[in-house]
Amino acid sequence: MAPLFALPSWMQRRNRRDAPPGSWRPILESNLPVVGKLTEEHQRQLFKHIKDFLAHKRFEGCGGLAVTEEIQVTIAAQACMLLLGRKTRTYPKLKTILVYPHTYQGGRKGLFGGDNGADARLGESWAVGVVVLAWDSVLGGARNFEDGHNVAFHEFAHQLDQEDGATDGAPILEERSAYSAWARVFSHEYKDLVDKTRKGRKSTMDRYGATNPAEFFAVATETFFEKPQQLKTKHPELYEELQYYYKVDPIQWT
């Protein structure tokens, strides 16, 4: 494991333009300490994606929240952890991140549309390129990296799912031939979670994943990154599909 931001001299010279600003260090050490467990190469990729994310995505505070560097870096870092190891752009369709100080009320059409019922929300993802997050939930999920709940991972997984124009639990895969195995495994695992939820039985994954296939993919993503060993043990085929897609093995970080 590499100490946070510690790169060998040759890599520092080669990747000087990708080096993170010094102000990021205390933010990530406090809010997302798992970054310090990433390999040197994954740290380099992460910082590059974060820079691109912050340069091209607009943050907007809601409910009186003033957006700070801490908020931006903490959210961007979690979003970009989903991109490690993959040949992909940094959320090409995402335009804006709306951040509330805490749980907010749904049911009102905003600047970008969206009306999903008047209930309390921790976050949501809109196909028009908007992610909405409650900051206190984002921070809690980042600091507690072992409970399987991470609202940032959840909502940015939806963004990945939506890149092909459909919110259906099937993101864009590298090869066309991979969709058959993905559909078989995810269909089986989704039905299994629905069945366990209906019968009141426990599962490694949160029962919210039984809502629909899109929510199942987002919940499976949270579990993959935060409870990797449990997911691999209980659902090895699902873990294998998620590892194929995300190109990382989070077990190495625990």
pLDDT in tens, 213-241: 999 999 999 999 999 999 999 999 999 99
Structure tokens belonging to residue 240? 């294998």
Percentage of the residues of the chain whose pLDDT score is greater than 90? 80
Inform me whether the pLDDT recorded for 54 exceeds 70. yes
Q: What is the pLDDT of residue 120?
A: 76
Contact 99, 133 (CB under 8 A): yes
- In single-letter form, the type of residue at position 54 comes to L
Percentage of the residues of the chain whose pLDDT score is greater than 70? 88
Query: 242, 250, 241: which is closest to 81 by C-alpha?
Result: 250
Q: Which residues contact 228 (CB under 8 A, 6 or more apart)?
A: 239, 249, 250, 251, 254
Place of tokens 């992460």: 46
Q: Tell me the mean pLDDT in the region 61-68.
A: 96
When pLDDT is cut at 50, 70 and 90, the band that residue 6 belongs to is low
Inform me whether the pLDDT recorded for 111 exceeds 80. no
Q: Which residues contact 139 (CB under 8 A, 6 or more apart)?
A: 31, 74
Q: At CB < 8 A and 24+ separation, what contacts does 65-73 make?
A: 65/99, 65/100, 65/101, 65/135, 67/99, 69/23, 69/27, 70/27, 70/31, 71/99, 71/135, 73/24, 73/27, 73/28
Q: Tell me the mean pLDDT in the region 106-125.
A: 61
Inform me whether the pLDDT recorded for 185 exceeds 80. yes
